[in-house]
Structure 1
Amino acid sequence: MCPSYLGKTGAQLFGVLGKDGKVNFITPLTVTEEFLELNKKKSNLEQRFRFTGKCAEKGCSQWNKEESKCSLSQKVQTLEKDRVQELSFCPIRSQCRWFFQDRENACFSCNEVTRNMEELLLSI
């Protein structure tokens, strides 16, 4: 599962951005048309929520074809933020592409990430 998915019908909502700027993970909820309708007038969904869905692998611009893995996981790990050093609750860890690739190292900065950061990380 991709931990940096788009907020669209059928995706799983698994995190909510807190006032402290960190993502608080929740038990996943399936995104419905009603949820999208209720939130369409507010700022970009991906700036406020974390979504997961099936990893597109080669169909995604973040896929590193040479290494056959997601390049975004490594970029997230280089963030100069307040990295935690112990694993916290994550409802998708057992299915997460980043965890599968990079184990615990992928988790330490994960709650710092919202999908709008992807544009910033693409320049790294």
Structure 2
Amino acid sequence: MASDPSLLCPSAHPDMAGARVFAVVGGSAEQPRADYLEHAVPLTDEVRALAQPVDPAEVFRVASPCVQGACQHFDGGEHICRLARKTATLAPIVVERLPRCAIRPTCRWWQQEGVSACRRCPQVATLNFMPNEAMRVAADPAVSP
């Protein structure tokens, strides 16, 4: 897979190369909220075990190098992440003050959408069984931004 090691996807899956945990998802199934770590940590087997008995994607926000065109959310023509664009425009703002974020300097969403993405990011859960309508539409790669 082609990747851009200079930018991190903040909605990566735990099995992706270079996976690092940068937040823990709390809140509720209906209203998840990420609590950001001071430093991103490699997703080791020991860290993965902390999520048991659930899938790590349910409780961790994971970042890994953006794989660009190998991702269903990437638009190679515009060279953008459609998930970032849709999240920044469709999802409700959940924080006014930007949370401290260990990956912000290298985050694709931040580089592409800026403050708009960060104000919505805390509600993102990679594996969400009860997404609200805005998050469901944002996560659907078949829906254009």
Task: Give the TM-score of the pair, scaled to structure 2.
Answer: 0.74
Report whether the alignment pairs 1:60 with 2:71.
Answer: yes
| SS of residue in 2 equivalent to 1:98 | helix
The one-letter amino acid of 1:5's match is: A
Residue matched to 2:117: 106
Deviates more, 1:82-91 or 1:102-111: 82-91
The one-letter amino acid of 2:26's match is: G
**Equivalent residues in 2 for 1:41-120, closer than 5 Å:** 41-77=52-88, 78-80=90-92, 82-117=93-128, 120=136
Deviation per CA, 1:53-99, whole angstroms, max 9, x where unpaired?
A: 1000111111012211100012212113x522221211110000000
Residue matched to 2:41: 29
Residue matched to 1:18: 26
The CA deviation at 1:39 is 4.6
Q: Which stretches in structure 1 are left out of the alignment for 5+ residues?
A: none
Classify 1:35/1:95 alpha carbon distance in 2 versus 1 (closer, same or farther; 3 Å).
same
Q: Which stretches in structure 2 are left out of the alignment for 5+ residues?
A: 1-7
Count of equivalent residues: 122
User: What is the RMSD of the two structures over their aligned residues, measured on CA atoms?
Assistant: 2.2
The one-letter amino acid of 2:43's match is: V
Quote the sequence identity (%). Answer: 25
Distance in structure 2 (CA, Å) of the matches to 1:29 and 1:92: 11
The CA deviation at 1:35 is 2.8
Report whether the alignment pairs 1:2 with 2:9.
Answer: yes
Task: Give the TM-score of the pair, scaled to structure 1.
Answer: 0.86
